[in-house]
Amino acid sequence: MFWKKPDNVAGTTAPAILIGLFVTFGGLLYGYDTGIISGIIATPWWLNQFATQVDPKNPSRKALTPAQTAEVVSILSAGTFVGALGAAPLADQLGRRRALMIAVGVFAIGVSLQVASMALPLYVAGRFVAGIGVGMISVIVPLYQSEMAPKWVRGVLVCTYQLAITVGLLIAAIVEYFSNSIDTAASFQIPVALQYLWAAILVLGMIVLPETPRYLIKRGLHAEAAASLSRIRRLDITHPALVDEIAEIEANHAYEVSLGPSTYRDVFFGTPHLGRRLLTGCGLFMLQQLSGCNFIFYFGNSFFDQVIGSGFLFQVIANSVNVIGTLPGIVFVESLGRRRLLMVGAVTMAVCQLIVASVGSVHGLSLDTSNKLYAAFILVYLFCFASTWGPVCWVVTAEIFPLKVRAKSMSISTSSNWLLNFIIAYTTPYLLGSGPGALDLGPQIFYVWGVCCIFAFFFVWIMVYETSKLTLEQIDEMYERVGHAWKSQSFEPTWSFQNIRQGQANPTSVNVTAIDITSGEELRQRTNATAASSNGTGHNTNRTSGEVIESSPSTTQSATHVTDEDKIVASLGNVDFSL
């Protein structure tokens, strides 16, 4: 099976899988909270209680103005943006486990405010506070999963986070389908209060689950890290495989720290290529939102009620397809790889979006034919999204950042997701509405999503490295050695950070035909040549290009004027970084 542990690896995968699956309750909480608003703003009792104007299409009921709809829907995303940015310092200071419990507590406060509300101001405030908790959860859960999981099952486990989100969306659609006809406050209080259940399960589980070994190494708690990894791998703390894994994590962290600090400035400008990695994470999440997924989840009830005539029922069907579609992504994320799934998904989603938009632009089709085409291609789009961009974006962003800035980089990447989520949620009522200042685009809004999907294909080709079947430490090596994302699939790891730390790196097995040598590699070669000359080990040193650096007094003296990066690399020991 796709989660089977390799035969040459000691220990067991079961604890890591079970832990990873359990914390996906955070995804269920996130998906459910995202999904219920689509039904709540279409619930008759809620509208009569919270809306302030008469529905121009049905004078017997009230309706939200486009501005009110934008505020109610988008305020959650404003909170999640704040929460995602705040998750990094919390997760780095208190640990992934305790930070997640605090996030759930904040979320529960927001739920309480919503349940108690009988007017828009308190309800909006509750959604904002709940959004802060959701934003923190959306950063910490994939972070916790990726740091706990072994490489052969890491992609699958992080994909289950997206599966849990889709299950949460489906449960929300089903609950709203049955509760929207209740003619009391229970019509919205029951769906909102159910979130206490998901929160309680997650907190109770986190009380007994371990902290991640990589976080403990980052904090200098080496004995605790070994004990945590022993519990996860079911190996004795003195087992050679466990000792070696801990040593490699420690050596990788020491190497990262030697390259510079872990401030927010270094998240953007640090080495190796941290700015490029951050752009990749932010770009993926922004394009995930611009694919149109949350347009369906946020405004599906209202939109499909007008276009197809059965908003609540269609939401149940659409979210069922969303859940089923996530399963192929879980199965193929390791075998097909991240890049291939993202590119195939971008093309298929673009085709579906443009067909839906074209149907809305053609006036000769009957209403019945148009509705069938809308329903068919929107469902196909959702299936393609759920099996590719839905789960894989979370996988990639959980993998590509080094340990020293992982929490900070993931929080910024995830906050970009919520920023676009907020923009889309706030502007869509004006794009679809028919009142003053509204564009009334209808199905033609899918042109926007289709064009964004086309752009997404080229973004993945240029920016996204293939990270499947690599440890988090080997991904760091790939970013140092491979100059272009489209060449990353031929990468084979050869470094051992333990050997680099000890000054025993053996680069002889590197396949130089499969990768590019970056300028950073040439810098290390120059540093090594300078160190060899100043130590009197020879009169010349061969560079990879064949150039010879002659040893001379001026060369020796220049060692005192090397750059800061030269000094850092030289401090690692007399390591031969040449290929």
pLDDT of 421-474, one tens digit each? 888 888 887 877 666 666 767 778 889 999 999 999 999 999 999 988 888 778
pLDDT over 50 (residue 200): yes
pLDDT for res 191: 94
Mean pLDDT of the region 53-82: 84
Name the one residue in this structure whose structure tokens are 């961009």.
389
Mean pLDDT of the region 84-89: 89
- Domain carrying residue 518: 490-570
Q: Is residue 509 part of a domain?
A: yes
Mean pLDDT of the region 341-352: 95
pLDDT for res 13: 73
pLDDT for res 339: 93
The pLDDT confidence band at residue 500, using thresholds 50, 70 and 90, is: low
Same domain, 317 and 441: yes
Mean pLDDT of the region 104-130: 95
Same domain, 415 and 518: no
Q: Is residue 231 part of a domain?
A: yes
Q: Is residue 472 part of a domain?
A: no
Same domain, 140 and 264: yes
pLDDT for res 441: 76
Mean pLDDT of the region 270-290: 90
Structure tokens at 484: 């272009």
Name the one residue in this structure whose structure tokens are 């033609």.
444
Report how far residue 2's alpha carbon sits from residue 153's, in angstroms, rounded to the nearest whole number.
Answer: 8
Q: Is residue 471 part of a domain?
A: no
On the CB side of 457, CA atoms within 13 Å amount to 14
CB atoms within 10 A of CB 560: 7
Question: Whose CA is closest to 338, among 267, 400, 248, 425?
Answer: 400
Task: Mark 301-325 as b/e (b = at least 16 C-beta within 10 Å).
Answer: bbbbbebbeebbebbebbbbbbbeb
Same domain, 245 and 167: no
Report how far residue 122's alpha carbon sits from residue 448's, in angstroms, rounded to the nearest whole number.
Answer: 34
Question: Whose CA is closest to 109, among 90, 128, 89?
Answer: 128
Same domain, 249 and 292: no
pLDDT for res 564: 47
pLDDT for res 32: 92
The pLDDT confidence band at residue 499, using thresholds 50, 70 and 90, is: low
Same domain, 277 and 220: no
pLDDT over 80 (residue 341): yes
Same domain, 245 and 267: no
pLDDT over 90 (residue 128): yes
Structure tokens at 311: 């908003």
Mean pLDDT of the region 272-292: 91
The mean predicted confidence, pLDDT, of the chain is 80
How many Å from the N-terminal Cα to the C-terminal Cα in the chain?
Answer: 37
Torsion of CA 345, 351, 353, 358, to 10 degrees: 180
Position with higher pLDDT, 456 vs 515: 456
pLDDT for res 552: 38
Range of lowest pLDDT (111-125, 354-368, 383-397): 354-368
For the chain, give percent helix, strand, coil, nearest 5. Answer: 75, 5, 25
Same domain, 220 and 203: no
Range of lowest pLDDT (129-138, 227-236, 489-498, 564-573): 564-573
Report how far residue 45's alpha carbon sits from residue 57's, in angstroms, rounded to the nearest whole number.
Answer: 17
pLDDT over 60 (residue 59): yes
Name the one residue in this structure whose structure tokens are 């930070």.
99
Question: Whose CA is closest to 497, among 471, 523, 522?
Answer: 471
Domain count across the chain: 3
The pLDDT confidence band at residue 181, using thresholds 50, 70 and 90, is: confident
pLDDT for res 475: 87
Same domain, 373 and 322: yes
Mean pLDDT of the region 96-102: 93
Q: Is residue 80 part of a domain?
A: yes
Q: Which of the given ranges, 65-74, 89-98, 107-116, has the highest pLDDT on average? A: 107-116
Same domain, 92 and 237: no
pTM: 0.70
pLDDT for res 276: 92
Mean pLDDT of the region 85-98: 90
Question: Whose CA is closest to 524, among 452, 467, 577, 459?
Answer: 577
CA Rg value for the chain: 26
Q: What is the CATH number of the domain that holds 371?
A: 1.20.1250.20
Alpha carbon 66 to its chain centroid, in Å, reads: 30
Q: In Å, how far are 157, 188, 252, 256 from 152, measured between CA atoms?
A: 10, 43, 19, 23
Q: Is residue 56 part of a domain?
A: yes
Report how far residue 494's alpha carbon sits from residue 517's, in angstroms, rounded to the nearest whole number.
Answer: 14
Same domain, 219 and 193: no
Q: 521 and 505 in contact (C-beta within 8 Å)?
A: no
Share of the chain above pLDDT 90, in %: 29
Q: Is residue 126 part of a domain?
A: yes
* SS3 assignment, position 53: strand
Torsion of CA 240, 244, 246, 251, to 10 degrees: 160
Sign of the CA dihedral with 132 first, then 133, 135, and 140 last:
positive
Q: Which of the given ranges, 59-63, 340-344, 375-379, 545-549, has the highest pLDDT on average? A: 340-344
pLDDT for res 349: 95
Q: 519 and 551 in contact (C-beta within 8 Å)?
A: no
Position with higher pLDDT, 557 vs 326: 326
Same domain, 242 and 318: no
Range of lowest pLDDT (30-39, 81-90, 207-216, 432-441): 432-441
**Which residues are within 8 A (CB) of 144 and not within 5 positions of it... i.e. 6 or more apart?**
23, 96, 97, 100, 212
Position with higher pLDDT, 332 vs 302: 332
- Helices 96-116, 195-208: axis angle to 10 degrees equals 160
Question: Whose CA is closest to 183, among 23, 47, 320, 16?
Answer: 47
Q: Is residue 476 part of a domain?
A: no
Q: What does the pLDDT look like over 547-564, one tens digit per residue?
A: 333 333 333 333 344 444
Share of the chain above pLDDT 70, in %: 79
Kindly tell me the burial class for residue 53, based on how many C-beta atoms sit within 10 Å of its own C-beta (0-12, 13-18, 19 or more).
exposed
pLDDT for res 246: 87
Q: What does the pLDDT look like over 370-423, one tens digit per residue?
A: 888 888 898 999 999 999 999 899 889 888 988 788 888 988 998 998 898 888
CB atoms within 10 A of CB 427: 14
